[in-house]
Amino acid sequence: MNEMLAAPQKRVSEPSKRRLVLLAELLSRTDKTRITSVELASLVHWSSALIRHDIASIGFCGGVSNGYDVRRLCDAILRFFEIAPASSEKKCCIVGLGRLGTALLDEAIFDGTGYKIVAGFDPNVNRTEILRSAFPLYPASRIEAVVASERIEYAILASKNEDAAPLASRLASCGIRGIVNYTDAVLGSTLSARVENASPVTLLRTLSARVSGIASDGGKKTEVENATEQRCRSG
């Protein structure tokens, strides 16, 4: 059965992107072959209507009555957002080898994720010589050369806060497409590189703001969700 029944929306909202990526992660780990939006809702605690809306936003419809094909839905999400499947790896690097960066030197963390750490960098040359890892460690002065030669696309930034902005600028300038920023410095995305600010402190503050504003909508569908669902049903 062909479940790709509708054209995707021209622009998927940032909240929808985040939810869909989490759904793909969940789907990749389930043993089910089909799953309904109600079953998904019970796992992630979003409304089933919101889940159907998010899925339909990438052009994947169906599933209203007999559920979604798990593998096809997961593949559709990964393909739509150009996320590397586990069978093909995108190269990443760690920049900053302090306590947090060192904790990420265990490459097993990324096994089966579609991402592979191939290099680590730190301004402290002694640190790169003392630490041990399954991939090469370099002084920060070699970022541009190594990123280019290894064709690294993504970076995990775990440097000192004061070094974050200049390092991020260098990473963006030499071809890095995305940066996960674990520092407390708040960085903005550029035309060439997207930044995800993921400092534990920032995430805790964001979570606190969400917790303080919790309000139940009773599972009611919004006008957008109703319109999207109708579009899928009409094909």
Q: What is the pLDDT of residues 41-96, one digit of tens each?
A: 999 999 999 999 999 999 997 666 789 999 999 999 999 988 866 667 899 999 99
**Residue-range domain boundaries for the chain:** 14-83+222-234, 90-197
Q: Select the CATH number that applies to the domain covering 14-83+222-234 from these four: 3.40.50, 1.10.10, 3.30.70, 3.40.1110.
A: 1.10.10
- Assess contact for 156 and 118: CB atoms under 8 A: no
> pLDDT value at position 163?
97
Residue with tokens 């139940």: 216
- Burial annotation 102-122 (CB, 10 A radius, 16+ → b, else e): bebbeeeeeeebebbbbbbbb
Write down the pTM of the prediction. 0.75
**Mean pLDDT computed over 167-187:** 96
Least-confidence region, from 5-14, 46-55, 92-101, 223-232: 223-232
Highest mean pLDDT among 70-84, 110-124, 130-144: 130-144
Q: Regarding beta strands 154-157 and 34-35, do their DSSP bridges make them parallel or antiparallel, or are they unpaired?
A: unpaired
pLDDT the model gives residue 89? 84
Query: What 3-state DSSP class applies to 144?
Result: helix
Specify the pLDDT at position 40.
Answer: 94
Q: Pull the structure tokens for residue 37.
A: 């939006």
Write the DSSP assignment of 133-162 as a string of letters: -SS-EEEGGGHHHHHHHHT--EEEE-S-HH
Q: What percent of the chain has pLDDT over 90?
A: 63
| Averaged pLDDT score across all residues of the chain | 86
3-state secondary structure (DSSP) of residue 189: coil
d(CA 119, CA 142): 11
Is a pLDDT exceeding 60 seen at residue 220? no
Of 163 and 233, the structure prediction assigns the larger pLDDT to 163
What is the rounded CA–CA span in Å between residue 112 and residue 211? 33
Cβ proximity of 98 and 70 under 8 Å: no
Q: Which residues sit opposite 90 in a β-bridge?
A: 115
Distance in Å from the first CA to the final CA of the chain? 13
Identify the helix (H) or strand (E) that includes residue 205: helix 200-212
* CATH of region 90-197: 3.40.50.720
